[in-house]
Structure 1
Amino acid sequence: MAKPIKVIEKIELTEEQKKMQSLENLLSGVAENKDSLLETLSLIQELHDSGILDAFGSLLKAKEKAAKIAVGQLTREPVTNMINNAMAAGGMLTELDPETTGKLAKSLTHGLKKAEQGLKEDSKIGLLDLMKALKDPDINRAIGFGFNLLKGMGEGLKE
């Protein structure tokens, strides 16, 4: 019967052997990814030729100063107001029905085209024209929409 193994010998690699193994792994990785590495080198060369690489390097060297400037610009009142307004507008848009919003946008576009045609005609509108216009179902619908919009806004402002 064979003797049981009692001691496991750990093979210690020398520094030279470790370097050689790392170099072999690196060469193997380069060989496997030749196309992507060449493309990356080409991209880096383009960045260098255009001066973007130098600018980016300078920005990294001055990262603390650049960060202070960026934070200073972002904390200015107009910028924070813009961010807060964008967030409020985004919140408002999440509450609206997309179908209604699309219909309203399409109607607004159509209305702007009609208004532009009216400007080109440059005709005067009298009191009698206004009375006739109220009988037009399209105008009446738009005025009703406007009144309901104003009513809803007023109710919202009351809260």
Structure 2
Amino acid sequence: MAKAIRNIERIKISEEDKRKRDLEEIEHALLKNKDAILESLQVMEYMQSRGVLAMMNGLLGQSDKVLDILVKTADRPETTNMLKNLLLMVGTLGVLDVKQLEPVILKVNSGIARVAEAKDTEEKTSYFDLVRSLKDPEINRALTFMLTFLKGMGQDTKEQERNTMEPHHQEHEKRKNRDLR
């Protein structure tokens, strides 16, 4: 029968072997991620050449002062108002239907291009010229477009509006709507 093992001796790895194994592991990781590392170094080089790294170094070195300035700036009413307006604008951009807006933008660009091509002249347009220009299909189409646009702008959109009222006005509107029911 075999004897029972009473002493277990652990294999001791020397510091030199451990260091060699760690270096091999690092080398393997570097080779595996070579492209990502090279691109990261290129980005760091761009940041260095543009002074971004120096700026970040300065910001981190003075982080307490910078944080204090940011907090004081964010605490001002105009900053709060700016953030509200920014969020409202971003929300509005999300509501716009770009497919419907594209033809309008193209027409505005076309009009701007014509104005840019036209030379500043001293020539005046008479009432007769205005009435005669209504026969021009392009002008007629533009006037019809503008009148349709103005009619759309005049349309009641109260029910489509998001809640953009001040908080005290919101409460007043809620109470008023409850009372009407």
Please give the TM-score of this superposition, normalised by the length of structure 2.
0.58
Matched with 1:65 is 65
Residue-by-residue CA offset, 1:72-123 (whole Å, 9 max, x unaligned) = 3345555544443343333223333323222111111110122233443442
Matched with 1:29 is 25
C-alpha distance in 2 between matches for 1:94 and 1:52? 32
Identity score, percent: 27
C-alpha distance in 1 between matches for 2:9 and 2:143? 89
Residue-by-residue CA offset, 1:36-94 (whole Å, 9 max, x unaligned) = 48x85xx57x94x9876554333213212112223333455555444433433332233
Give the letter aligned to residue 93 of structure 1.
L
Matched with 1:133 is 133
Matched with 1:144 is 144
Label 1:93 to 1:54 Cα distance change in 2 as closer, same or farther (>3 A): closer
Structure 1 unpaired stretches of 5+: none
Matched with 1:91 is 91
- Quick one: higher RCO (CA 8 Å, sep 6+), 1 or 2? 1
Label 1:20 to 1:114 Cα distance change in 2 as closer, same or farther (>3 A): same
Within 5 Å, which residues of 2 pair with 1:1-159?
11=10, 17=13, 23-32=19-28, 33=30, 36=37, 40=41, 43=44, 47=48, 53=53, 55-156=55-156
Matched with 2:164 is none
C-alpha distance in 2 between matches for 1:152 and 1:7? 93
C-alpha distance in 2 between matches for 1:50 and 1:99? 39
